[in-house]
């Protein structure tokens, strides 16, 4: 049964995790409310990411270039590439996210949800959690 994780303006529905796939992949549907964004651009060396648009349009910033992902379109994010995302549209946007190999599982997102929903997020705790799971935050100007 899918596991739903609420991160405020982001909602993840975990469909498969590293635990279900012997580390092969993590697969989840992500819904971004209008103006929702990845709070901290980042990169990771341990996995690649593929995004497939299901509804609405999400904008992904990949190495300082904006790429819109609409329904039926896909985007591949190679390991080591700095990225983030935002929904600039007035409607929710939903995409399917595939992490290969699977290394995060739902636990990372549950920990981040606890930090984000506990009031004013503590950037130091968010950074520590990201680093512990292999995401490297990048402050961009």
Q: What is the pLDDT of residue 110?
A: 95
Q: For residue 16, what are the contacts with CB-CB under 8 A and spacing of at least 6?
A: 25, 26, 27, 102
The CATH fold assigned to 3-137 is: Jelly Rolls (2.60.120)
* Kind and range of the H or E run holding 49: strand 48-55
Closest CA to 38 of 10, 66, 74: 10
Per DSSP, 66 falls in state E
Q: What is the pLDDT of residue 140?
A: 61
The segments of the chain whose pLDDT lies below 50 read none
Q: What is the pTM of this model?
A: 0.91
Domain boundaries, the chain: 3-137
């Amino acid at each position: 049964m899918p596991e739903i994780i609420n991160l405020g303006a982001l909602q993840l529905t975990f469909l498969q995790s590293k635990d279900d796939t012997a580390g092969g992949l993590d697969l989840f549907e992500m819904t971004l409310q209008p103006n929702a964004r990845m709070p901290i651009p980042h990169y990771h060396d341990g996995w690649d990411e593929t995004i497939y648009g299901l509804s609405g349009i999400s904008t992904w910033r990949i190495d300082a270039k904006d790429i819109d992902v609409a329904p039926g379109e896909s985007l591949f994010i190679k390991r080591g590439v700095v990225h983030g995302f935002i929904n600039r549209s007035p409607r929710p946007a939903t995409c399917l996210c595939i992490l290969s190999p699977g290394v995060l599982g739902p636990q990372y997102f549950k920990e981040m949800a606890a930090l984000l929903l506990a009031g004013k997020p503590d950037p130091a705790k968010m950074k520590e959690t990201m680093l512990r799971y292999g995401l490297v935050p990048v402050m961009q100007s």
